[in-house]
Structure 1
Amino acid sequence: MADVERLLESLKGTKQIELEDIPGIDLYMDQVMQLFDNKLSSGDPSERVLTKTMINNYAKSGLLLPIKNKKYTKEHIILLSLINQLKGSLKINEIKQLLEELNQKIVNEEFDLPDFYRYYLELMNVNAEHFSRTLQTHFHEATELVSTKDQTDTSYVDKVLLISSLAQMSNLYRHAAETLVRDIASEEKE
């Protein structure tokens, strides 16, 4: 149980860019990268959260709204934050399909992105609480299975089972997300 508590404690440091973190003025690319590094970096200075190449590629591929005068607005930063979160599970072309209509609604001023982002952040907090309960359940299930067998190193086997269980759950969630992206893409074609 101590391992799960330690793992959960380490995950509490998982950060998001909050709306209050985004300055009220437009930023240059270096300032955007610095904001992401300051808020989301693992602490290793060699690992950048965002690079110039990434931002340029996102802009060229249509993941971002058009950039004006080499400055990035609050909406750009919100979209970059969403892209950063999504790229851990989805391919770039899937993210593009997902955000295409959203970007169009923003351009047409039919959508309040900061409000949407508030909902997103609230949902992330709910997800973190749900994950904490679920992780404890997975850990107990794995340790109970191992304890019923005669194993010499149950701590190691517990961890392998837990890791395998989490990887499988991650695959299921990713597959569900990919299916929903395909649904959005097919709805747009109709």
Structure 2
Amino acid sequence: MENIRELIKELNLDTNLTTEDIPEIDLYMDQVIQLFESKYESTKRNEHDKVLTKTMINNYAKGKLFFPVKNKRYTKEHIMLISLIYQLKSALSINDIKKSLTRLNSKVVEEEFELENLYKSYETLSKRNVEHFAENVLQINQEVAAEVPDDEDNQYMEQLLLIASFTHMGNLYRKAAEKIVDEIADNPPSSNEK
């Protein structure tokens, strides 16, 4: 596909909610939604899509994906967890997300764990992942072009093979993530971790 670099640019893959984007003061739900909408506006597939809604946040709270909110105000830690949930939900089930975050939520509440340090590590890894992704997409694009015969419909065939290849890679990563979720669920914290 000739315009693969433009496609990568249009994806706005470097868009991520950073610790600097999150205010130090606690926010009400509408403010949290506005923060996410303004940050991720450029990543929406359609202009009518919602990044985050009250229903989503309420479902995350009911599902105990993050520790309870006090006085209807969301702390910086809540917002970091909601951001992680936002990223995880595109590949994992809500149940898998809960399994992944239960121990972290307990650590934040019971041990006064510094979530911001973990979140900054996530930010660093996300930046590297975007770089790796761009390199990988260019390589896959070259491999696909080499597979497609030169005929009148080769652009469509390239696009179709790219869709299939990207979907396959996404499935491979999702399966690996699910396997790690299962390991977390099968290995509860030891008594000295609680």
Q: TM-score range by the shorter chain?
A: over 0.9
> 1-side partners of 2:129 and 2:121: how far apart?
12
> 2-side partners of 1:136 and 1:128: how far apart?
12
Could you tell me which of 97, 103, 109 is aligned with 2:99?
Answer: 97
SS in 2 for 1:70: coil
What does 1:24-173 correspond to in 2, within 5 Å?
24-42=24-42, 46-146=48-148, 149-173=149-173
Q: Is the 8 A contact 1:41 1:47 kept in 2?
A: no
TM-score w.r.t. length of structure 1:
0.93
Residue 156 of structure 1 deviates from its aligned partner by: 1.1
Residue 13 of structure 1 deviates from its aligned partner by: 5.4
- 1:56 maps to amino acid: N
Q: Higher helix proportion, which one?
A: 1
Residue 152 of structure 1 deviates from its aligned partner by: 2.6
Match of 2:19 in 1: 19
Residue 189 of structure 1 deviates from its aligned partner by: 8.0
Residue 48 of structure 1 deviates from its aligned partner by: 1.9
> 2-side partners of 1:21 and 1:37: how far apart?
12
- Render the CA deviation track for 1:62-111: whole Å, top value 9, x for unaligned: 10111000000000000000000000000000000000000001011252
- Render the CA deviation track for 1:34-65: whole Å, top value 9, x for unaligned: 10101012466632211111111111111011
- 1:79 maps to amino acid: L
Q: What is the alpha-carbon root mean square deviation over aligned residues?
A: 1.7
SS in 2 for 1:19: coil
> 2-side partners of 1:152 and 1:33: how far apart?
47
Residue 184 of structure 1 deviates from its aligned partner by: 0.5
> 2-side partners of 1:48 and 1:158: how far apart?
31
Structure 1 vs Structure 2: percent identity of aligned residues?
A: 48
> 1-side partners of 2:12 and 2:34: how far apart?
22
Tell me which of the two structures has the higher relative contact order, counting C-alpha pairs closer than 8 angstroms and 6 or more residues apart.
2
Structure 1 gap ranges (5+): none
- 1:102 maps to amino acid: L
Q: Is the 8 A contact 2:65 2:101 kept in 1?
A: yes
| Stretches of 4+ aligned residues off by more than 3 angstroms | 42-46
The alignment covers a number of residue pairs equal to 188
- 1:158 maps to amino acid: E
> 2-side partners of 1:87 and 1:105: how far apart?
22
TM-score w.r.t. length of structure 2:
0.91
